[in-house]
Structure 1
Amino acid sequence: MMDLRALYDTLRQRRRPEDVADMLLPLLQAELTPQQRATLEKAARHSIRRSMWQYTAMQQTFRAVVGADKQAGKAAELFRVTPDPAARFDDPAAIETLLRELNPLIGKEFDHHHYEADRLNREARRADGLDLSKRRYNKLFRSLRHLEQKLYRLLREYRKLEQEQVAKHKFAHRISYEEFARDPATAAFIAYYTARCNVRSEFTNQSQQRPYDEVAHMLFLRLTGSGLAPTTAAPNWWAVAQVYPAPEVLAQLTEAQKGELLGQRAAFLTDLADFLGDIWAQNDFRATTMVVKRGDDSSTWNAAAGAWNKARDSWLNLLYALGMEFVLDELCFGKVMRLMAADVAFWHRSSGGDLDPNTAVWAELPFPWEVLAGTARCTRTQVENVCRRAGLDAYKTGWLAPRPHGVVAFRPTPELVHGVSVANPYLAAVLKRHRYFSGKPAQPLRPEDN
C-alpha cells in the first residue's frame, strides 16, 4: 500500500487546495494523461512551495482544543499520585479514567461536584475513614471539581470543533486512514475536494466559491471511468460518500451501506438539533433578518448552522438514494440560516440586493429542533407552499431534493484577513496582528515607531 499519511493528514487541516494539488503531482504523475496533468497543474502552480512569497498568514489547521494537562497535573500533585505516562489529557477518556481513580480516595462520586451538596462533613469523612483536615479535604475536592468541569468544557469544545469541520467538509475527518489509503485515486479526489471545501469565506456581496471545480471534476472522472485514462479498478465509494454524497456516488453503495450512512446522519442531526435549540434559547436572534447584532454568539451559531445544512444535505441525498423520499411527506425539517454580519447586509442593500429569500422560508417554517422534538410539525406540503410564497423552487434550492451543482473554473485561493483579500501574505500577517477587519478596535500601524 502506498504511504499516503501526509496526504491523509490534510483531511484534518486547512491546507490550501493548491498545496494539496502540489502534493498530488508526484503521486499521480505516472498515471495522468497530459490533459489531466495540465488540469492539476493549474492549481499546483499556485502552491506556497512555488510562490514568490513561500508563506501564507492563514492558519493551516482548524483551531486546537486546549486539553486538561494543567488541571490533571495539579490533581495528581495534590493526591500524590503519578498518572499513566501514556495518558493524554486532551483525551476525555483519559481524564475520566483519572477522575474515577482519584474520586474514591476522598469518598467522592464521579460527576458529583456541587460545593455545598456533595462535600462530606467531618462526621462523614470519619465514617469513610478519611483522616483529612477540612482544609486538605476541600483542596482535594476543588481540584477534582475543576478537573470534572474542564472535562465537560472539553467535551463541548470537541463537539463544536466537529461542527466547524462538518460545516466545511461534511464528514471527511471521520474517514480512517485504512479507508483513505485503500485506493490512491480515491484518496487524491478526497484530499483535493476536502481542501476546496475548507476554503475560507470571503467578505463579499456575491456568492462564495463553489468547491467542485475543474480540478476536482478531473479527479472524480478518474474514479468513474469517464476520464481519458482511468487508473483505478476499485474506487472506495464509501469513503467518497463521507465528503461528496452526490447521487452518482451513493448509487455505487450497497443498500446496507446507504442505510448505515442514513442512520449516522440522522443521529448527528438529532444531537445537533438539541444544540441549536439551546443556542437559540440563549440568544435573541431575529429570525426574519438573521443579521448579527452586539452580544449574539454568531461564531457558535454559524458553525452549528453550517454543520446542520451539510448534514441535512447528506441525509436528503440518502433518502432519495434509498427511494425513501416519502419520509418528507410527514417529516421535513428545514435548513438553518446563518447569521450575516451587519456590514455585509448593508452592502447587499446598498448595491441593489435584498434579503435572501431562503431567510423568509426559514423564518416561516417551524424550527428544526421543534420538529425533531415533536413539538411542531413540518411536511413536504408546508415547505412547498412557503417556498412558493418566497419565490423559490423547493426542489432546485435544496429544501426538498438534492441540490444540483455544476463545475466551476479553478480560482486561486486568496490571502484573506477576516475575509478581506490582501495581496501580500506578510502584510496580511501584520494587518491580522493589529486586528484590522476583525470588527474589533484596530491597533493602528505606526511605521514611524518601527
Structure 2
Amino acid sequence: MLSLIFQYINGCLRHHKKQQCTMNLYQLYKTIFMRKRPEDVAAMVMELIGNELTKAQHITLNKAAKGSLKNRFMQYTSMMQSFAMPSGANRQVNKAAELFRLDQVPEVDGHDPEAIEGFIKKLSPQINKTFGKNDFMHHRLNRLSRKAIGLDISKRRYNKLFRHLQRMETKLEGLIAAYKKRAFQQVAKHGIVHRLSYDMFAQDKYTACFIAYYTARCNLRSEFTVNGQTRPFDKISQMLLKLSEDKGTPNYLAMAYVYPVAQTLEKLSDHERGQLLGKWTSLLEELAGMLKKLWHDNQINKETMVVKRGNDSSTWNITAGAWNKARDAWMNMIYAMGAEFVLDTMCFGKVMRLIAGDLAAWHRTAGSGLEPNTQVWQRLPLPWEVFEGEATCNKSTVKRACQRAGLDPELSGWIAPRTVGVAEFTPTPELVHGVSVANPFLATLLKKQGVFSGKKLKPLKTNLN
C-alpha cells in the first residue's frame, strides 16, 4: 500500500514538473515576439534548465542572468520590452457608429486591418459610396443623384459621413503601412523567427533556449558609435548552441529561422533548404518593392547617404536593414545548396542606411572618411533594379567594386557568407536615441525631454509650488 502511495506521489510530481516545463517554455516562446533584454531571457533559461548545467555552463549563463530585472533592487528599465504597435482605429470605429446612428457599437478589432476594411465596406453602401473612391470633388453624389437613389439626408450630413469614411480609409492605409514597417523591423533584427510556430519552437527545450536567448541578442538596439555594433552571437549563445547539440535533439530547421549560417543549414534536408530559400526570396521580392517606392519618394543622396530634410530615414533604414538581413540569409542558402553559380548571373548588393549628419562628421573627425561599404554601394546598380531584371550586376561586378573600395569582397559579405566570431557578453545599456545612459530613471527623463533626438527640447514638468 505504501509503495502505491509513493508511486502516486512521484507520478504527481512528474506531471507537475512537466506542466511547469511546458509553461516556462511557452513564456520563453513569447519572448521571440518581444524585445526582452538578453539578461531577462537568460534568467528564464536558467529557471528552465539551470539544474541541468555543469558548473562552467552555469557560470557562463549567469554572466547575463545576474543582470536580469528580477535580480535588481530596482526592477526597472527605460527600454521598451516589445516592438512598438501601431495605434489602432477604435476611436474612428466608435465615431462611425455614432455618425451612422448604429444601435450599438460593433465589435470590430481596431488593430485588425481586415476587420476595419470589412466594417468600412459594410457602412459605405448606406451613402452609396464605393470603397476606394475617396476624391471629395469627383466621387461624392450631388443632390439629384442622392434623390435618385432615395438617400434623403441633408448635404451637410452626407458630406460628414463621406468625410468620415474617407478618413477611415486613410487610417486603414496608414495602419497597414505601420504593420508592414513593424514586420520589416523584426526581420531587420532577428530574421523570420517571429514566424516560428510554438510546436516547432518547443520540439527541443535546449534548442528553444538557444533560439530565445540569441533572438534577444539580435533584438538589441543600435548604439550611436563609430566602433561598430555589438555582435549578437556571444559566448552564452555558443554555450547554449553546443548544449542543444550535446544534450538535446537539435531542431536545426527552427534554428535556421534566426541563425541561418552554414553550421545550421548543412544539417537540413534539401527539401527544408528549398523551403527556406523560397521564404527568403519571397521576402526579398517584397522588400525590393518597398525600397523602390521609398527611393522614388525620397530625394536620397546616393553618394554620401547622409540624411537630409524630408527623407523618411526611419522607414528607409528599417527596410534597408531587413533587406540586408534577408540578403545575408539568401546568400547563406545559395552556398549551402551549392548553387554559387547563380551569383555569376545575378548578385544584388547590400542597401546602405541613411546616416545622420553629425555621425558622418564624427566619422570624418575620427579619420574614417566615407565608409567603404558606401563606396561599393555608389558603384553598383540599385539592388531592386538587379532583382527585378532592370539592370545587370554579377559576382565579378561586385568584386571589382569592393576591390576599388579596399574591401575584401568575401570577408565583407558582398559575394559570400560572412564569417562572424564569438563576442564577449556585454550588459545591455540604457539607450536614449542610441546614446548610452548609465541610469534607467535618468534615461526616461531624458527621453521625455527629447534629449539626443535632434529636436527642440521639451520643458521639464515639475510639481513644485
| TM-score for both structures, normalised by structure 2 | 0.90
Q: Distance in 1 between matches of 2:230 and 2:459?
A: 31
The partner residue of 1:335 within 337, 340, 350 is 350
Q: 2:58 aligned with 1:37, yes or no?
A: yes
- 2:374 aligns to what? 359
Q: Distance in 2 between matches of 1:117 and 1:38?
A: 70
Q: Residues 133, 449 of structure 1: CA spacing in aligned structure 2 closer, same or farther, 3 A cutoff?
A: closer
Q: 2:78 aligned with 1:51, yes or no?
A: no
- 1:195 aligns to what? 216
Letter in structure 1 aligned against 2:267: Q
Q: Distance in 2 between matches of 1:132 and 1:403?
A: 66
Letter in structure 1 aligned against 2:407: L
The partner residue of 2:255 within 236, 240, 256 is 240
> Within 5 Å, which residues of 2 pair with 1:127-206?
127-206=148-227
Q: Secondary structure at the match of 1:286?
A: coil
Q: Residues 448, 118 of structure 1: CA spacing in aligned structure 2 closer, same or farther, 3 A cutoff?
A: closer
Q: Residues 369, 83 of structure 1: CA spacing in aligned structure 2 closer, same or farther, 3 A cutoff?
A: farther
Q: Secondary structure at the match of 1:421?
A: strand
Q: CA deviation at 1:428?
A: 1.6
Q: 2:321 aligned with 1:306, yes or no?
A: yes
Q: Distance in 2 between matches of 1:77 and 1:7?
A: 43
Q: Which runs of 5+ in 1 are unaligned?
A: none
The partner residue of 1:210 within 215, 219, 231 is 231
Q: Secondary structure at the match of 1:30?
A: helix
Q: Secondary structure at the match of 2:409?
A: coil
Q: Residues 431, 112 of structure 1: CA spacing in aligned structure 2 closer, same or farther, 3 A cutoff?
A: same
Give deviations 1:289-321, integer Å, cap 9, x for gaps. 212233332111111111110011111111112
Q: Distance in 1 between matches of 2:181 and 2:169?
A: 19
**Identity of matched residues, %:** 52
Q: 2:305 aligned with 1:290, yes or no?
A: yes
Letter in structure 2 aligned against 1:50: N
- 1:108 aligns to what? 129
- 1:9 aligns to what? 30
Q: Distance in 1 between matches of 2:273 and 2:145?
A: 56
1:335, 1:399 within 8 Å by CA — same for their partners in 2?
yes
- 2:388 aligns to what? 373
Letter in structure 2 aligned against 1:434: Q
Name which one, 1 or 2, has greater alpha-carbon Rg: 2
Q: Distance in 1 between matches of 2:362 and 2:462?
A: 31
- 1:260 aligns to what? 275
1:169, 1:243 within 8 Å by CA — same for their partners in 2?
yes
Q: Distance in 2 between matches of 1:443 and 1:111?
A: 40
The partner residue of 2:99 within 73, 78, 98 is 78
| TM-score for both structures, normalised by structure 1 | 0.93
Letter in structure 1 aligned against 2:384: W
2:29, 2:198 within 8 Å by CA — same for their partners in 1?
yes
- 1:415 aligns to what? 430
Q: CA deviation at 1:445?
A: 6.3
Give deviations 1:11-54, integer Å, cap 9, x for gaps. 12211100110111111123222221111111001112212432
Q: Distance in 1 between matches of 2:144 and 2:213?
A: 65
Q: 2:330 aligned with 1:315, yes or no?
A: yes
Give deviations 1:399-418, integer Å, cap 9, x for gaps. 11111111111111112222
1:170, 1:243 within 8 Å by CA — same for their partners in 2?
yes
Q: Distance in 1 between matches of 2:119 and 2:62?
A: 51
Q: Distance in 2 between matches of 1:364 and 1:30?
A: 55
1:83, 1:98 within 8 Å by CA — same for their partners in 2?
no
Letter in structure 1 aligned against 2:233: Y
Equivalent residue pairs, number: 443
- 2:111 aligns to what? 90
Letter in structure 1 aligned against 2:265: L
Q: Secondary structure at the match of 2:76?
A: coil
